[in-house]
């Protein structure tokens, strides 16, 4: 939708799709519904992200994962890829950082291709690839059926896989760019730890 609007504007036409702020009254029912999905996913972490991986909203369990992150990384605008890969963010606590880093960079590359080289996404990729990884080759393990996130939290190693979903019927640019990223326990130990 955003790309169609850009093309229309470039041709001298009015944009077809509205682009409202997330706090616009017209979006309030949808945003409230998305908030209820975030809350319902507790005790597991869930995030509402924009099309640049900016955090729009998150449920309470996400707060527990952010302990120990540099305060400057937690100031808006908060970007989940930067937060995961920054050496003062979650990176030191991610047990399988080479694999998770490769996964995130792959997702970022796909979105850059899909958007025709969105400058903000290209800048984000350049920034996060410049971080010293120091974590060896980025290879995907063949043993796991999905790419897990393995993170130290509160004295436990938690293992998650993520599921992203979008609003299929969106007719607003903002809503079309949102996706709900839910983290599901990848093993019984994680499920039991978070259920306590």
Q: How far is CA 178 from the centre of its chain?
A: 10
Give the three-class secondary structure for 79: strand
For residue range 30-70, what is the model confidence (pLDDT) as tens digits?
Answer: 989 999 999 999 999 999 999 999 999 999 999 989 989 99
- pLDDT above 90 for 98: yes
Average pLDDT over residues 23-32: 86
| pTM to 2 decimal places | 0.83
Rounded to 5 degrees, φ, ψ at 151 are -135, 140
How far, in Å, are 10, 32, 61, 79 from residue 57 at the CA level?
32, 11, 12, 11
Q: How far apart are CA 171 and CA 41, in angstroms?
A: 26
Mean pLDDT of 171-196: 90
Query: In 3D, which of 187, 177, 193 has the Cα closest to residue 20?
Result: 177
- 20 pLDDT band (50/70/90 cuts)? low
Furthest-apart CA atoms within the chain: distance in Å: 58
Give the per-residue pLDDT at 7.
Answer: 74
Q: What is the pLDDT of residues 144-177, one digit of tens each?
A: 678 899 999 988 999 999 999 988 877 787 778 8
């Amino acid at each position: 939708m955003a790309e169609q609007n850009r093309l229309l504007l470039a041709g001298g036409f009015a944009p077809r799709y509205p682009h409202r702020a997330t706090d616009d009254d017209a979006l309030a029912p949808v945003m409230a519904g998305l908030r209820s999905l975030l809350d319902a996913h507790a005790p597991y972490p869930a995030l509402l992200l924009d099309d640049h991986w900016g955090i729009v909203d998150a449920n309470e369990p996400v707060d527990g994962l952010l302990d120990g992150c540099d305060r400057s990384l937690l100031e808006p605008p908060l970007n989940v890829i930067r937060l995961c890969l920054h050496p003062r963010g979650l990176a030191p606590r991610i047990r399988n950082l080479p694999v998770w880093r490769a996964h995130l960079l792959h997702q970022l590359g796909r979105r850059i291709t899909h958007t025709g080289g969105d400058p903000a996404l290209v800048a984000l990729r350049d920034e996060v690839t410049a971080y010293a990884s120091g974590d060896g080759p980025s290879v995907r393990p063949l043993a796991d059926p999905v790419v897990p996130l393995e993170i130290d939290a509160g004295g436990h190693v938690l293992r998650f896989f993520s599921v992203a979903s979008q609003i299929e019927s969106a007719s607003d640019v903002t809503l079309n760019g949102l996706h709900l990223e839910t983290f599901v326990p990848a093993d019984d130990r994680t499920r039991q730890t978070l259920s306590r």
